[in-house]
Homo-oligomer: A and B are copies of this chain.
Amino acid sequence: MKKRAEGRRVSDLGEDALIEKLVAKLVASKRNQDVVAGPGDDCAVMKSARSGFYELLKTDCVVEGVHFLQGTRAEQVGRKAICRAVSDIAAMGGVPRFATVTIALGTEHSVAEVEAWYAGMAGAAQQFNVEIVGGETSSLPEKRGAVISVSMTGEVEKENCVFRSGARMGDAIAVTGRLGNAFASERHLHFTPRLKESRWMVSESKNCRPSSMMDLSDGLSKDLPRLLRVDGWGYQIDPERIPLNEDADLDGAIKDGEDYELLMTFPSLDEAEWKVAFPETPLTVIGEVVRETSEPLDPGGYEHFRR
Protein backbone atom coordinates (compact mmCIF):
# COMPACT_ATOMS: atom_id res chain seq x y z
CA MET A 1 0.00 0.00 0.00
CA LYS A 2 2.81 2.37 0.95
CA LYS A 3 4.49 1.92 -2.40
CA ARG A 4 1.33 2.58 -4.28
CA ALA A 5 0.76 5.83 -2.40
CA GLU A 6 4.28 6.98 -3.19
CA GLY A 7 3.76 6.32 -6.86
CA ARG A 8 0.80 8.69 -7.09
CA ARG A 9 1.08 11.64 -9.43
CA VAL A 10 -0.29 15.06 -8.55
CA SER A 11 -2.77 14.59 -11.41
CA ASP A 12 -4.32 11.64 -9.51
CA LEU A 13 -4.77 13.64 -6.36
CA GLY A 14 -6.11 17.02 -7.47
CA GLU A 15 -5.41 20.45 -6.06
CA ASP A 16 -7.54 20.46 -2.89
CA ALA A 17 -6.17 17.17 -1.63
CA LEU A 18 -2.62 18.23 -2.50
CA ILE A 19 -2.95 21.54 -0.68
CA GLU A 20 -4.45 19.73 2.32
CA LYS A 21 -1.41 17.44 2.48
CA LEU A 22 1.01 20.33 2.19
CA VAL A 23 -0.82 22.45 4.75
CA ALA A 24 -0.63 19.53 7.18
CA LYS A 25 3.15 19.59 6.84
CA LEU A 26 3.28 23.33 7.37
CA VAL A 27 0.98 23.37 10.35
CA ALA A 28 3.15 20.70 11.96
CA SER A 29 5.99 23.21 12.01
CA LYS A 30 3.82 26.03 13.32
CA ARG A 31 4.74 27.46 16.69
CA ASN A 32 4.83 31.23 16.27
CA GLN A 33 2.48 33.25 18.45
CA ASP A 34 2.59 36.11 15.98
CA VAL A 35 0.62 34.14 13.35
CA VAL A 36 -3.12 34.86 13.55
CA ALA A 37 -4.11 32.85 10.45
CA GLY A 38 -1.68 30.64 8.56
CA PRO A 39 -2.21 28.60 5.41
CA GLY A 40 -5.85 28.14 4.40
CA ASP A 41 -7.23 31.68 4.25
CA ASP A 42 -6.97 34.11 1.33
CA CYS A 43 -3.92 35.68 3.01
CA ALA A 44 -1.71 34.82 5.95
CA VAL A 45 -2.48 37.15 8.88
CA MET A 46 0.18 38.14 11.39
CA LYS A 47 0.33 40.43 14.39
CA SER A 48 1.76 43.80 13.42
CA ALA A 49 4.10 46.18 15.20
CA ARG A 50 1.55 48.83 14.24
CA SER A 51 -0.85 49.02 17.13
CA GLY A 52 -4.38 47.91 16.24
CA PHE A 53 -3.34 46.38 12.89
CA TYR A 54 -2.64 42.99 11.39
CA GLU A 55 -0.06 42.34 8.65
CA LEU A 56 -1.21 40.40 5.57
CA LEU A 57 0.97 38.30 3.28
CA LYS A 58 -0.04 36.62 0.05
CA THR A 59 1.75 34.71 -2.68
CA ASP A 60 0.23 33.87 -6.02
CA CYS A 61 1.22 33.10 -9.58
CA VAL A 62 0.05 33.17 -13.17
CA VAL A 63 1.34 30.50 -15.54
CA GLU A 64 1.44 30.64 -19.33
CA GLY A 65 -0.87 27.97 -20.70
CA VAL A 66 -2.88 27.86 -17.45
CA HIS A 67 -3.83 31.39 -16.35
CA PHE A 68 -3.12 33.05 -19.67
CA LEU A 69 -2.48 31.86 -23.20
CA GLN A 70 0.44 32.45 -25.50
CA GLY A 71 -0.53 35.49 -27.51
CA THR A 72 -2.46 37.19 -24.69
CA ARG A 73 -1.63 40.90 -24.65
CA ALA A 74 1.35 41.05 -22.34
CA GLU A 75 0.30 44.17 -20.43
CA GLN A 76 -2.93 42.42 -19.45
CA VAL A 77 -0.98 39.42 -18.21
CA GLY A 78 1.07 41.67 -15.92
CA ARG A 79 -2.06 43.45 -14.80
CA LYS A 80 -3.74 40.16 -13.93
CA ALA A 81 -0.74 38.96 -11.92
CA ILE A 82 -0.99 42.01 -9.64
CA CYS A 83 -4.80 42.14 -9.52
CA ARG A 84 -5.13 38.53 -8.38
CA ALA A 85 -3.06 39.28 -5.29
CA VAL A 86 -4.90 42.56 -4.66
CA SER A 87 -8.14 40.58 -4.80
CA ASP A 88 -6.88 38.28 -2.03
CA ILE A 89 -5.90 41.25 0.15
CA ALA A 90 -9.39 42.68 -0.46
CA ALA A 91 -10.89 39.34 0.57
CA MET A 92 -9.47 39.91 4.10
CA GLY A 93 -10.85 43.47 4.28
CA GLY A 94 -7.30 44.80 3.95
CA VAL A 95 -5.25 47.33 2.01
CA PRO A 96 -2.28 46.21 -0.15
CA ARG A 97 1.15 47.78 0.39
CA PHE A 98 4.22 46.17 -1.17
CA ALA A 99 4.83 43.52 -3.83
CA THR A 100 7.74 41.49 -5.13
CA VAL A 101 7.74 39.66 -8.45
CA THR A 102 9.57 36.50 -9.49
CA ILE A 103 9.58 35.62 -13.17
CA ALA A 104 10.81 32.30 -14.55
CA LEU A 105 10.78 32.14 -18.33
CA GLY A 106 11.95 30.25 -21.34
CA THR A 107 14.95 31.60 -23.21
CA GLU A 108 12.99 32.34 -26.37
CA HIS A 109 10.60 34.81 -24.79
CA SER A 110 10.94 38.21 -26.36
CA VAL A 111 12.35 41.02 -24.28
CA ALA A 112 9.51 43.26 -25.41
CA GLU A 113 6.98 40.81 -24.00
CA VAL A 114 8.69 40.69 -20.61
CA GLU A 115 8.90 44.48 -20.54
CA ALA A 116 5.21 44.72 -21.34
CA TRP A 117 4.38 42.38 -18.46
CA TYR A 118 6.23 44.74 -16.16
CA ALA A 119 4.50 47.76 -17.62
CA GLY A 120 1.16 46.06 -16.93
CA MET A 121 2.23 45.23 -13.39
CA ALA A 122 3.48 48.75 -12.76
CA GLY A 123 0.18 50.20 -14.02
CA ALA A 124 -1.97 47.95 -11.86
CA ALA A 125 0.30 48.56 -8.86
CA GLN A 126 -0.15 52.29 -9.28
CA GLN A 127 -3.92 51.95 -9.60
CA PHE A 128 -4.17 50.09 -6.29
CA ASN A 129 -1.42 52.00 -4.51
CA VAL A 130 0.92 49.01 -4.33
CA GLU A 131 4.67 49.51 -4.48
CA ILE A 132 6.67 46.86 -6.40
CA VAL A 133 9.85 46.80 -4.33
CA GLY A 134 11.80 43.86 -5.69
CA GLY A 135 12.01 41.06 -8.16
CA GLU A 136 13.93 38.07 -9.31
CA THR A 137 14.29 36.52 -12.74
CA SER A 138 15.26 32.99 -13.63
CA SER A 139 15.43 30.98 -16.79
CA LEU A 140 13.35 27.85 -17.37
CA PRO A 141 15.09 24.86 -18.93
CA GLU A 142 12.73 25.01 -21.93
CA LYS A 143 12.61 27.55 -24.73
CA ARG A 144 9.01 28.52 -23.99
CA GLY A 145 6.97 28.80 -20.83
CA ALA A 146 6.54 31.48 -18.21
CA VAL A 147 5.67 31.64 -14.52
CA ILE A 148 5.01 35.02 -12.92
CA SER A 149 4.85 34.79 -9.15
CA VAL A 150 3.68 37.81 -7.15
CA SER A 151 4.06 38.16 -3.42
CA MET A 152 2.16 40.98 -1.72
CA THR A 153 2.02 42.47 1.76
CA GLY A 154 -0.90 44.39 3.16
CA GLU A 155 -2.43 45.53 6.39
CA VAL A 156 -5.84 45.69 8.00
CA GLU A 157 -7.24 47.10 11.23
CA LYS A 158 -7.79 44.17 13.61
CA GLU A 159 -11.49 44.84 13.95
CA ASN A 160 -11.92 45.02 10.17
CA CYS A 161 -10.18 41.77 9.28
CA VAL A 162 -12.63 39.25 7.81
CA PHE A 163 -11.57 35.60 7.71
CA ARG A 164 -12.93 32.56 5.88
CA SER A 165 -14.15 31.43 9.27
CA GLY A 166 -16.89 33.38 11.01
CA ALA A 167 -20.09 32.33 9.21
CA ARG A 168 -23.03 31.42 11.40
CA MET A 169 -26.14 29.28 10.83
CA GLY A 170 -28.74 31.33 8.98
CA ASP A 171 -26.30 33.90 7.59
CA ALA A 172 -27.12 35.13 4.09
CA ILE A 173 -24.69 34.05 1.35
CA ALA A 174 -24.01 36.81 -1.18
CA VAL A 175 -21.70 37.71 -4.07
CA THR A 176 -20.60 40.97 -5.64
CA GLY A 177 -20.97 41.56 -9.37
CA ARG A 178 -21.98 38.88 -11.87
CA LEU A 179 -20.54 35.43 -12.49
CA GLY A 180 -19.57 33.16 -15.36
CA ASN A 181 -17.68 32.97 -18.64
CA ALA A 182 -14.77 35.09 -17.39
CA PHE A 183 -12.08 33.23 -19.29
CA ALA A 184 -13.70 33.06 -22.74
CA SER A 185 -14.85 36.69 -22.46
CA GLU A 186 -11.35 37.74 -21.33
CA ARG A 187 -12.86 39.45 -18.29
CA HIS A 188 -10.25 37.50 -16.30
CA LEU A 189 -7.66 39.84 -17.85
CA HIS A 190 -9.23 43.18 -16.99
CA PHE A 191 -11.32 42.66 -13.87
CA THR A 192 -11.12 45.22 -11.09
CA PRO A 193 -10.40 43.66 -7.69
CA ARG A 194 -13.19 44.52 -5.24
CA LEU A 195 -10.86 46.50 -2.98
CA LYS A 196 -13.06 49.59 -2.75
CA GLU A 197 -16.17 47.54 -2.03
CA SER A 198 -14.43 45.42 0.58
CA ARG A 199 -12.99 48.43 2.41
CA TRP A 200 -16.36 50.13 2.41
CA MET A 201 -18.08 47.05 3.85
CA VAL A 202 -15.58 46.50 6.68
CA SER A 203 -14.89 50.10 7.64
CA GLU A 204 -17.76 52.34 6.56
CA SER A 205 -20.99 50.46 6.06
CA LYS A 206 -23.57 50.41 8.84
CA ASN A 207 -25.16 47.08 8.00
CA CYS A 208 -23.20 45.42 5.21
CA ARG A 209 -20.51 43.83 7.34
CA PRO A 210 -19.65 40.25 6.27
CA SER A 211 -19.08 37.52 8.86
CA SER A 212 -16.81 35.59 6.48
CA MET A 213 -15.36 36.38 3.06
CA MET A 214 -13.17 35.04 0.25
CA ASP A 215 -12.62 35.86 -3.40
CA LEU A 216 -14.06 33.68 -6.16
CA SER A 217 -11.22 32.36 -8.29
CA ASP A 218 -11.98 28.69 -8.94
CA GLY A 219 -15.75 28.89 -9.40
CA LEU A 220 -18.68 29.06 -6.95
CA SER A 221 -19.12 25.28 -6.78
CA LYS A 222 -15.54 24.81 -5.57
CA ASP A 223 -15.05 27.99 -3.55
CA LEU A 224 -18.30 28.04 -1.56
CA PRO A 225 -17.61 24.67 0.13
CA ARG A 226 -14.10 25.94 0.96
CA LEU A 227 -15.59 28.99 2.69
CA LEU A 228 -18.08 27.02 4.77
CA ARG A 229 -15.83 24.02 5.47
CA VAL A 230 -13.84 26.12 7.95
CA ASP A 231 -16.80 26.35 10.34
CA GLY A 232 -18.36 23.04 9.33
CA TRP A 233 -21.52 24.50 7.80
CA GLY A 234 -23.45 23.67 4.66
CA TYR A 235 -25.24 25.85 2.12
CA GLN A 236 -28.64 26.16 0.54
CA ILE A 237 -28.30 28.03 -2.78
CA ASP A 238 -31.15 29.25 -4.93
CA PRO A 239 -29.66 28.88 -8.45
CA GLU A 240 -32.17 31.30 -9.92
CA ARG A 241 -30.74 34.12 -7.85
CA ILE A 242 -27.15 33.64 -9.00
CA PRO A 243 -26.30 36.83 -10.95
CA LEU A 244 -25.12 35.93 -14.45
CA ASN A 245 -22.92 37.86 -16.81
CA GLU A 246 -24.71 38.70 -20.06
CA ASP A 247 -22.68 36.15 -21.99
CA ALA A 248 -22.83 33.43 -19.30
CA ASP A 249 -25.25 30.62 -18.47
CA LEU A 250 -25.95 29.19 -15.02
CA ASP A 251 -23.62 26.25 -15.55
CA GLY A 252 -20.76 28.63 -16.31
CA ALA A 253 -21.58 30.90 -13.38
CA ILE A 254 -21.27 27.91 -11.06
CA LYS A 255 -18.22 26.26 -12.61
CA ASP A 256 -16.13 28.61 -14.72
CA GLY A 257 -14.01 30.42 -12.14
CA GLU A 258 -11.76 33.45 -12.65
CA ASP A 259 -14.57 35.82 -11.60
CA TYR A 260 -12.59 37.55 -8.82
CA GLU A 261 -15.82 38.63 -7.17
CA LEU A 262 -16.26 38.52 -3.39
CA LEU A 263 -18.17 35.63 -1.83
CA MET A 264 -19.47 36.48 1.63
CA THR A 265 -21.79 35.53 4.46
CA PHE A 266 -23.81 38.20 6.30
CA PRO A 267 -25.61 37.97 9.67
CA SER A 268 -27.70 40.89 8.40
CA LEU A 269 -27.50 42.90 5.24
CA ASP A 270 -28.95 46.26 4.21
CA GLU A 271 -29.13 45.95 0.43
CA ALA A 272 -30.43 49.49 0.10
CA GLU A 273 -27.36 50.86 1.86
CA TRP A 274 -25.13 48.96 -0.61
CA LYS A 275 -27.10 50.31 -3.56
CA VAL A 276 -26.50 53.88 -2.48
CA ALA A 277 -22.75 53.26 -2.11
CA PHE A 278 -22.33 51.20 -5.31
CA PRO A 279 -25.26 51.90 -7.64
CA GLU A 280 -23.62 50.10 -10.55
CA THR A 281 -22.32 46.97 -8.83
CA PRO A 282 -24.84 44.38 -7.71
CA LEU A 283 -24.59 42.68 -4.33
CA THR A 284 -26.82 39.63 -4.54
CA VAL A 285 -28.02 37.24 -1.88
CA ILE A 286 -27.95 33.78 -3.45
CA GLY A 287 -28.67 31.55 -0.48
CA GLU A 288 -28.23 30.77 3.19
CA VAL A 289 -25.84 29.04 5.58
CA VAL A 290 -27.44 25.79 6.80
CA ARG A 291 -26.37 22.84 8.93
CA GLU A 292 -25.80 20.50 6.04
CA THR A 293 -25.74 20.86 2.24
CA SER A 294 -28.54 18.82 0.72
CA GLU A 295 -28.22 19.97 -2.88
CA PRO A 296 -24.53 20.52 -3.68
CA LEU A 297 -23.63 22.65 -6.68
CA ASP A 298 -22.12 20.55 -9.45
CA PRO A 299 -18.43 20.54 -8.50
CA GLY A 300 -16.99 21.21 -11.92
CA GLY A 301 -14.98 24.36 -11.19
CA TYR A 302 -11.46 24.66 -12.52
CA GLU A 303 -9.11 22.29 -10.80
CA HIS A 304 -5.36 22.41 -11.21
CA PHE A 305 -3.60 19.13 -12.05
CA ARG A 306 -6.76 17.28 -13.12
CA ARG A 307 -6.77 16.83 -16.86
What residues of chain A have their CB less than 8 Å away from a CB belonging to chain B?
5-13, 15, 18-19, 21-23, 25-26, 28-32, 34-35, 38-39, 43-44, 46, 48-51, 53, 57-61, 63-67, 97-98, 100-102, 104-105, 107-112, 114-115, 118-119, 122-123, 125-126, 131-142, 145, 147, 149, 151, 153, 304-305, 307
* Cα distance, A97 to B34, chains bound together (Å): 10
Residue among A13, A34, A43, A114 facing the most chain B CB atoms (10 A cut-off): A114
* Given A32-B131, A53-B49, A149-B147; A61-B136 close (CB under 8 Å): yes
Closest chain B residue, CB of each to CB of A125: B29
Contacts of A7 in B (CB 8 A): 110, 112
* Given A49-B53, A61-B102, A138-B66; A8-B305 close (CB under 8 Å): no
Contacts of A137 in B (CB 8 A): 15, 18-19, 22, 304
Copies of this chain held together in the complex: 2
Among B53, B57, B61, which residue has its beta carbon within 8 angstroms of that of A134? B57
Contacts of A38 in B (CB 8 A): 131-134
* Cα distance, A59 to B49, chains bound together (Å): 22
Output the least CB separation between A120 and chain B (Å).
10
Contact B66–A139 (Cβ < 8 Å):
yes
Contact B122–A29 (Cβ < 8 Å):
yes
Output the least CB separation between A243 and chain B (Å).
28
* Cα distance, A46 to B140, chains bound together (Å): 30
Output the least CB separation between A107 and chain B (Å).
4
Residue among A35, A66, A104 facing the most chain B CB atoms (10 A cut-off): A104
